[in-house]
Amino acid sequence: MTGFIGKKVGMTQFYNAEGNVIPVTVIQTGPCVVVQKKESATDGYNAIQVGFGSKKNQRVNKPEQGHMAKAGRGAFEVLKEFRLDDVSQFQVGQEIKAADLFKAGDRIDVAGTSKGHGFAGVIKRWSFAGFPGSHGTHEYFRHGGSIGNRSYPGRVRKGKKMAGHWGNERISVQNLEVVDIRPENNLMLVRGAVPGAKQGIVVVRRAVKG
């Protein structure tokens, strides 16, 4: 198993054995439940699909209800696949906990959806400096300036930093340290910040650059 689904609870402080204060993010780590096994003989690849969280049955359509019922745990808030080389060790309905995969000191990558800020200008979105507040500047203080030439290239180049929708996109933070695992409460303490708002869904995997 390479990772699991969790929910960001919030940030707090943690005192280590030396008495140092460490800023940590608390992640609720399930438990995740195996909903489906996919094998190369039938599906073309090996993976397991896990469910996390709970949802009212009436908020899930009938095909999804039948699919999730195989695990015997009701409807799940979110489903996600994790590819594996061997899925024989997992069974449908099996619980997977963070303590089974990680321990204090491990390195992880956390992916989530960043906070949405709506439509933002170039100063807030890209930290542009803006225009001088004096010396003849008139009604042109927070604009982005020129966006290209007329003759060449005769268009706005792709990737030009301009005003637009800011946030609400998938972000991954790599190589974070697991500070502590609390299996009795299904909590993981991770050094530093992870993407998204409180109660946001995150995916925790083993660090690819650890």
User: 34 and 70 share a domain?
Assistant: yes
When pLDDT is cut at 50, 70 and 90, the band that residue 201 belongs to is very high
User: 78 and 140 share a domain?
Assistant: no
Number of domains comprising the chain: 2
Amino acid letter, residue 199 = Q
Give every CB contact of residue 89 below 8 A, 6+ residues apart in sequence: none
User: 180 and 198 share a domain?
Assistant: yes
Amino acid letter, residue 91 = Q
Residue 73: strand, helix, or coil: coil
Residue 38, domain CATH? 2.40.30.10
Report pLDDT digits (tens) over 169-200.
999 999 999 999 999 999 999 999 999 999 99
User: 123 and 75 share a domain?
Assistant: no
User: 65 and 127 share a domain?
Assistant: no
User: 104 and 191 share a domain?
Assistant: yes
User: 48 and 81 share a domain?
Assistant: yes
Region 121-133: mean pLDDT is 95
Residue with tokens 């008139």: 138
Task: Spell out the SS3 assignment of 143-189.
Answer: CCCCCCCCCCCCCCCCCCCCCEEEECCEEEEEEEEEEEEECCCCEEE
User: 18 and 104 share a domain?
Assistant: yes
User: 131 and 192 share a domain?
Assistant: no
When pLDDT is cut at 50, 70 and 90, the band that residue 1 belongs to is confident
Residue 101: strand, helix, or coil: helix
- Secondary structure element (H or E) that encloses residue 51, with its range: strand 47-52
User: 111 and 123 share a domain?
Assistant: no
User: 144 and 177 share a domain?
Assistant: no
Report pLDDT digits (tens) over 67-106.
999 999 899 999 999 999 989 889 999 999 888 899 999 9
The whole-number pLDDT of residue 120 equals 97
User: 91 and 109 share a domain?
Assistant: yes
When pLDDT is cut at 50, 70 and 90, the band that residue 154 belongs to is very high
The whole-number pLDDT of residue 35 equals 95
Report pLDDT digits (tens) over 39-72.
999 999 999 999 999 999 999 999 999 999 999 9
Amino acid letter, residue 22 = I
Is the pLDDT at 112 greater than 90, yes or no? yes
Its domain, for residue 73, covers: 3-117+171-206
